[in-house]
Amino acid sequence: MASFSRRAIAVSGVVAAALLALSPVRAETPDPAVQQVQTFYDALLDTMKQAKELGIQGRYNKLKPVIQQTFDIPDMARLAVGAPWATMSPADQQAITTAFERLTIANYANNFNGYDGEKFVVEPAVTMRGADKVVQSKLVTKSQTVPFGYRMHLVGGTWKILDIYLNGYVSQLATQRSDFGATVQAGGAKALVKKLHALSDKLMKE
Q: What integer is the mean pLDDT of 163-179?
A: 93
Share of the chain above pLDDT 90, in %: 83
- The pTM of this model reads 0.85
Q: What integer is the mean pLDDT of 95-108?
A: 98
pLDDT of residue 130: 95
Q: Where are the domains of the chain?
A: 32-203
- CATH architecture entry for 32-203: Roll (3.10)
- Identify the CA nearest to 46 among candidates 119, 150, 145, 97: 119
pLDDT of residue 169: 87
pLDDT of residue 20: 35
Residue 174 has pLDDT above 70, yes or no: yes
Residue 21 has pLDDT above 60, yes or no: no
